[in-house]
Amino acid sequence: MRTRERKETAGESRAGPGRGERTRTINRNFFLHIHAPRVHVHSMKPAYSFGLGIILGFLFLILILTGVVLMIYYNPSVEQAYQSVKDIVYVVPGGRIIRNMHRWAAQGMVIVVFLHLVRVFYTGSYLGNRSLNWVIGVVLLIITLLSNFSGYLLPWDQLAYWAVTIGSNIAASARELTDLLGVTSAFDPGGFMKRLLIGGEAVGQPALSRFFALHVIFLPLSILVLTGVHLWRIRKDGGISRPAASATDRSGNQKWYAWPVLMWTELALLLGTVAVILCIALLADAPLLEQANPSYPENPAKSPWYFLGIQELVSYSAFSGGLLIPVLYLAFLFSIPYVDREDRHVGIWFSGKRGWKVAGIAAGSTLLLVLSQLFVMIRYGWLRDWFPGISQGFVMLLNPATISAALFILASEMVRRRTSSTRMAALTLFTCTFVALLIFTAVGIWFRGPDWEFFWSPARWPVQ
Amino acid sequence: MDEQTYIARVQWLVLAGSALLLLLLLGAWIMEGRGRAWKQHQREYGRLVAGNADSLQAQDPAGMEKGIFQVELAHFDRVDRCVTCHQGMENPRMEGAAQPHAMHPGTYLADHPARQYGCTICHGGQGRALDKKDAFGQLPETYWPHPMLEQPFIQSSCGHCHLSIFNGDDPAGNGRASGMEVFLKGKQLFSAEGCLGCHRARGVGGILGPDLTKQGEKTKHEYSFQNVEGEQTVSNWLKAHFRDPEMVSPGSRMLRINLPEDELDALATFVMGLAKPGIPFDYFTPAALNEFKGIRDPMEGPSGYTTLCSACHGKQGSGKSYREYKTGIPAVGNRDFRRVASEAFIRFTLQKGRSTRQMGSWEEAISGITDPELDAVTRHLKQEERPAVDELLAQYEGSLRGGSSAGSGSPGEELFLRRCAACHGEEGRGGVAVALNQEGFLERAGNRFILHTLVYGRENTAMPGWPHLENQELTGLLTLMRSWYGVPGSRDPLDFTAADTDEGALKYHFLCSRCHGEHGEGETGPAIINEDFLQAANDRFLYETISQGRPHTAMFGWSTDVYNQERLDADDIAGIVGYMRKTAAEPFVYIYPGTNPGDRDAGALAFREYCTECHGEAGEGPVAPALNNQELLSAASNGYLMATITLGREGTEMPCWGFGNGSHPVLSGAQRQDLVAYIRSWQRIRIRF
């Protein structure tokens, strides 16, 4: 105790302000107040958190600032939307760069939010008191995707129009089941979801108005509020997760003052994030295709890339791919902290060596399983090609998505029995589903062409 | 690691980050601020103006306005910023300067001030854009549906407002058409190639192909370039499509257009100009506006044929060979068709089309072609140079005075054997056609009657006109006939103008229709109510034939005492003749097939032997016109079929079965009648006119 205090005093003399002043700096400032006055050394390790949460915050900040500028010039009417985006690109000083930054920061946010999820899961950060914060995090992930999706429509070009058309059809996936049961005319939850989303049977002015309102008010406000709760929970939980202190490692309990250590780190992350986004924005223009034309569908019409995994599943079966699997997946994500309560694993990447092995095997076998099913499907067709008269119910229940999901659940149950650890089971299921999601998304992005046929590259697509 | 080391490391990162950010911001500022192409162009233009200015009109480049200039065109729903770079557009000093500073060539801007028209309405391209690539919009990565147009295709833009397809060739209405020569050439080709035979434009034309009224508004995204080589532009697609429609658009039935490259360019330019843009109506020329409203100049016969028929039936009416094309097209421009097909036949076919064939109906409701225009086309198809009957008569009478004799071995006799005997029998004693060598006939029929019949033929009967024969040959035939029974007595003409035609109608129906048919189309007796006959026959001929009858035929004299028959007096006969003349002038409901005494079973055997090779087992005609379609059978009289079999069709593969030409057997009159009966037996319905 004495040694530590001396060390701190020595630090003070070199770094400037004294101990009380440092705490006051944090506590007096409204914006800095979300930080704890002191942070644990373990939390400052770059290779533990990678600063992903903070990067998300800064990306969101970029989005808010550039978004406000765009909103000043943008006109959310079907007739004017496209023209106003063109004016932003051509006439507004710096408009092209601002739009590019907004676009790429938004895409970046989707990527980073997934990485953040992966980091938090594999370090077991949902354990202990953090289960509620995990749930809030998953909700924030969903809102981020919705936010991005609602912004996708606003330029009102062909890319936007057909992507959202596809997205709205995914929302209507429940129709496949109700059609099969023959009750669609009486009970049509799919149609309800679609109408709720786009305000009609086809994308038009109602959809644009809805998406605009969601995109600029409702969703950002939700993110802001939930992020506040998210950060507040972190403070309440004693900072971000870390392994339980061991008696032998004394440095394991060391804390640094947030001012100035964390401040410098955050500044570096802010500068880095802005620089990277600006760099991409200078090099690559955000896409802007022809004005939306409802009579000429893009072929292939693809939803935004982060939904292409789902679109790939929907191409097997609308109900199971567009509703059943996503709902199961979300249920799994939400339930993780309530099923797995093995708090001893908190803050340790993969919960140690055994976890690395389990995750590795899970990832490898998923790769093998999903790719072999895709190979069979693309090369030899699926049930519908083999038995043309088969009921849609069979296709709905037996396709690469449902088969994989069933096998994943089976595998995680097996792991739970073998290791008698829920953490290992969760690790298995999370790894399997995430790798599968990556594969399906990659296939949707790069290997699907006109009519959703398989192509090795877009260069081989037939000329339209 | 202690706090200080950590901070030190992070501080390096912060330094690097801020340096990078500063650099990027500087880059962005230069790119967006100084580096914009339009700013460079404006500086360059300023230098040009300063260099060009003479002492009097020196312009201070520093005082020139700078910035983004734009023409806002709410009435065209566009904003054109082209003038931002093209500042010298209206500056006469910039004539011949390098782009983008050059003055606009020609006088276009005088008629189309940029303030009112902007640029992209004619040139295409993206008016809002401020850099060359996006403004030209020609590259695929610019995603602009209306790329800037190059010569000659830019002339298509003139068509958007100035085009009148039918209302004359003076698009601007002021006698000037400079600058759109290629477009106008394309318009000529559009008519000459008969595009409207299958396509519609502005409510006129066929229905086999797509409507072309707004074809020029289609963007390249609406075309498939799967089978088109070369650049992906609308003009290139159109040209490839003209050259080989089926290759470019699989399943297309369009015929190839064989034209040299520059004419294909012109045609593509014209098609790209077919549009009805959503701009205020006062920008259209009155002629174009009228066409959109359906008001247009009527088509003449020849131009109607070219515009509507020539694509399929050929510019000279030669048709398309049935052996070369899957769907051959009958020849309609040859002499045999013209003299065998009656106006009614042609008109009926135009009106109804052929249901099992490509030939569609040209009724106004379907094609937008008016009845007078169809009449004009009909007349054009039927049109032929005919020797004047009066002249022939004079020539004949002159030859009589000259004392030339016509007896055995005369050209008339030889000609009669070759041309007439197949139906009228040797020495005109009668065969499948009426006997000519007959006292009762020759006594009454005047020279004019006979010559008129030879020149015009007899509508809807098997007697075609022979206008292509030399005058001597025609008079020679008359001389021959006169040599059989001498000269008719000269008779005073009669005047039947006061006849009671109602009474005549009753009499005709009770007495004459038994043999001559209810409508005078001919039954066991010849056809007598048709324009050709009634023009040739004067009232005295008719009166005497009715009152005295025709010896050796079933036609007895109605003024003579015949057992059990009513006697007609002069007034009765006058009424009948009046009725006949009145009825012939009236339009008729059906085309009546007329008489044919053939035997269909015998005809079936003959058909199988001689006709199936081309016309098919059941007349469906794989390599010759289909005979079993109801429109043909409703349009063609038995006489038409008989004449076609007998004479064949010159210029096609249909041989002449009446006289033979060595390669085919000659069919007897009875055999030909059997064939007609067999063909007629396919008729299931009779279609109203």
Per-residue pLDDT tens digits for B142-166 = 889 899 999 889 999 988 888 888 8
B369-390 per-position pLDDT tens digit: 999 999 999 999 988 888 888 8
Q: Do A265 and B10 touch (CB under 8 A)?
A: yes
- Counting runs of H as helices and runs of E as strands, what totals does chain A give? 21, 2
Q: Yes or no: say if A310 and A322 are a contact pair by the CB < 8 Å rule.
A: yes
Q: Is the pLDDT of residue A2 over 50?
A: no
For residue A90, the model assigns a pLDDT of 92
Quote the minimal CA–CA distance from A463 to chain B in Å. Answer: 5
Quote the minimal CA–CA distance from B211 to chain A in Å. Answer: 18
Please list every residue in chain B whose beta carbon sits closer than 8 Å to the beta carbon of residue A14. 4
- Cβ of A322: how many Cβ atoms within 10 Å? 27
Q: Counting Cβ atoms within 10 Å, is residue B547 exposed (0-12), middle (13-18) or buried (19+)?
A: middle
A-chain residue closest to B129, CA distance:
A90
Q: Could you say which of A271, A289, A464 has the minimum Cβ distance to residue B14?
A: A271
Tell me, letter by letter, the H, E, C secondary structure of B434-452: CCCCCHHHHHHCCHHHHHH
What is the 8-class DSSP label of residue B382?
A: H
Q: Yes or no: say if B336 and B647 are a contact pair by the CB < 8 Å rule.
A: yes
Q: Could you say which of A14, A282, A289 has the minimum Cβ distance to residue B28?
A: A282
Q: Tell me phi and psi for residue B198, to 5 degrees.
A: -110, -35
Report the distance separating Cα B314 and Cα B331, nearest Å.
Answer: 8
What is the 8-class DSSP label of residue B205?
A: E
Percentage of chain A modeled with pLDDT above 90: 63
Q: Tell me phi and psi for residue B549, to 5 degrees.
A: 75, 180
Lowest average pLDDT, out of A120-134, A214-228, B100-114, goes to B100-114
Tell me, letter by letter, the H, E, C secondary structure of B633-670: HHHCCHHHHHHHHHHCCCCCCCCCCCCCCCCCCCCCHH
- Cβ of A79: how many Cβ atoms within 10 Å? 12
For residue A179, the model assigns a pLDDT of 87
Please list every residue in chain B whose beta carbon sits closer than 8 Å to the beta carbon of residue A288. 143
- Cβ of B336: how many Cβ atoms within 10 Å? 20
What is the 8-class DSSP label of residue A257?
A: E
Which residues share a beta bridge with A255?
A40
Q: Name residues 42-81 of chain A within 8 A of B (Cβ).
A: 44
Reduced to 3 states, what is the DSSP secondary structure of residue A201? Answer: coil
Taking the CA atoms of chain B, what radius of gyration do you get in angstroms?
Answer: 38
A324-335 per-position pLDDT tens digit: 999 999 999 999
Q: Do A90 and B134 touch (CB under 8 A)?
A: yes
Contact with chain B for residue A462, Cβ under 8 A: yes
For residue A51, the model assigns a pLDDT of 92
What is the 8-class DSSP label of residue A271?
A: H
Reduced to 3 states, what is the DSSP secondary structure of residue B433? Answer: coil
A-chain residue closest to B137, CA distance:
A290
Contact with chain B for residue A272, Cβ under 8 A: yes
Residue type, B533: F
Contact with chain B for residue A265, Cβ under 8 A: yes
Percentage of chain A modeled with pLDDT above 70: 94
Question: Which residue, among B157, B163, B151, B152, has the nearest Cα to B191 in the 3D structure?
Answer: B163
Q: Tell me phi and psi for residue B359, to 5 degrees.
A: -65, 115
For residue A9, the model assigns a pLDDT of 43
Q: Is the pLDDT of residue A25 over 60?
A: yes
Q: Tell me phi and psi for residue B211, to 5 degrees.
A: -65, 130
- Cα B134–chain centre separation: 44
Q: Is the pLDDT of residue A122 over 80?
A: yes
Of the pLDDT bands very low, low, confident and very high (cuts 50, 70, 90), residue A194 is very high
For residue B25, the model assigns a pLDDT of 93
- Chain B residues within 8 angstroms (CB to CB) of chain A: 2-4, 6-7, 10-11, 13-14, 17-18, 20-21, 24-25, 27-28, 31-33, 68, 79, 81, 126, 128-130, 134, 143-145, 219, 221-222, 224-226
Report the distance separating Cα A128 and Cα A140, nearest Å.
Answer: 20
For residue A375, the model assigns a pLDDT of 94
HSE-CB for B571 with a 13 A CA cutoff: 4
Place of tokens 């004047």: B388
- Cβ of A244: how many Cβ atoms within 10 Å? 12
Contact with chain B for residue A312, Cβ under 8 A: no
- Cβ of B102: how many Cβ atoms within 10 Å? 15
Using 70 as the pLDDT threshold, list the residues of chain B that sit under it: 1, 52-63, 169-177, 403-410, 486-491
Report the distance separating Cα B315 and Cα B89, nearest Å.
Answer: 46
For residue A462, the model assigns a pLDDT of 79
Please list every residue in chain B whose beta carbon sits closer than 8 Å to the beta carbon of residue A291. 145
For residue A66, the model assigns a pLDDT of 97
For residue A117, the model assigns a pLDDT of 96
- Report CA dihedral (B534, B538, B540, B544) to the nearest 10 degrees: -40
Question: Which residue, among A93, A127, A72, A138, has the nearest Cα to A329 in the 3D structure?
Answer: A138
